[in-house]
Amino acid sequence: MPSSSFAHLTDRALIRVAGEDASHFLQNLVTVDIDDVDKSGAGASALLTP
């Protein structure tokens, strides 16, 4: 088995958020603790909406 791989999940989406306040913005919007997510990787989370 390869040490890393990916799968295209057609019912999911990828987003990129950048900027000075990106971590703070995401911390208030998703269920994962942003500080615990590897900066070079990804983390599973739910996107919260008002």
Each residue's pLDDT tens digit, 7-44: 888 888 777 889 999 889 888 888 888 888 776 667 77
Contact assessment for residue 31 and residue 46, using Cβ atoms and an 8 Å cutoff: yes
pTM of structure: 0.55
How far apart CA 50 and CA 22 sit, in angstroms, is: 19
Q: Where are the alpha helices (DSSP H) in 1-50?
A: 22-27
Position 3 scores a pLDDT of: 67
Count of helices and strands (H, E) across the chain: 1, 0
Contact assessment for residue 32 and residue 45, using Cβ atoms and an 8 Å cutoff: yes
